[in-house]
Amino acid sequence: MSNNGSSNEDNELALFHAAMQGVEPLTATNKAIICEPKVPPVPRHGNTFLEETGLGTLSDHIAITIEQGDDWSFLRPGMSHQTLRRLRRGHWKIQGNLDLHGLTRDQARQELSIFLAACIQNNFRCVRIIHGKGLGSKNHEPVLKTRIGNWLMQYKEVLAFCQAKPEDGGSGAVLILLKINM
């Protein structure tokens, strides 16, 4: 049996050498492969910033319509459509994330206010909010998606938002472009 095992190894080695005939090793480069670190969580600050700016007063009673479906988006009046196109294509690096899975409407509203206040203070340009796809809800529809869109439009610092690319959460997440203070 040991001869048969050795013979199989010799055959495999011969096949490998035949397959590699004419192949040359890659030349070494002086370039390093950089893996971008994950976005660190935004530390919570006191609610004084929320109170000073009025960011903690998001209403559910403002009836604003947002384009639904695959093109779920918002662009502040006066902004170029190129801005929304760039946001959709990932032009800006995502600098902050907020996951609202499993939160009630009131909890989500509070977390959103705290998160956006911290992002604005830190001059973040592009952030992502994960609201979920609604697969666990009663009707299998997203519960927070429309509310989050309406809340986001109440922030003058929100210049645009759109549904995230599939690799960033797809229909269960929204990318937001924020106005930065110079």
**Domains in the chain, CATH or no CATH each:** 48-178 (3.30.1370.110)
- Which letter does DSSP use for residue 71 in this model? G
CB-based contact 104:149 (threshold 8 Å): no
**The model's pTM:** 0.64
Q: What is the mean pLDDT of residues 135-151?
A: 75
**Sheet containing 158-163, strands listed edge to edge, beginning at the edge strand earlier in sequence:** 73-75, 158-163, 173-178, 126-130, 96-99
Please give the share of the chain, as a percent, with pLDDT higher than 90: 38
Given a cut of 90, whether residue 10 has pLDDT beyond it is no
Q: Is the pLDDT of residue 176 over 90?
A: yes
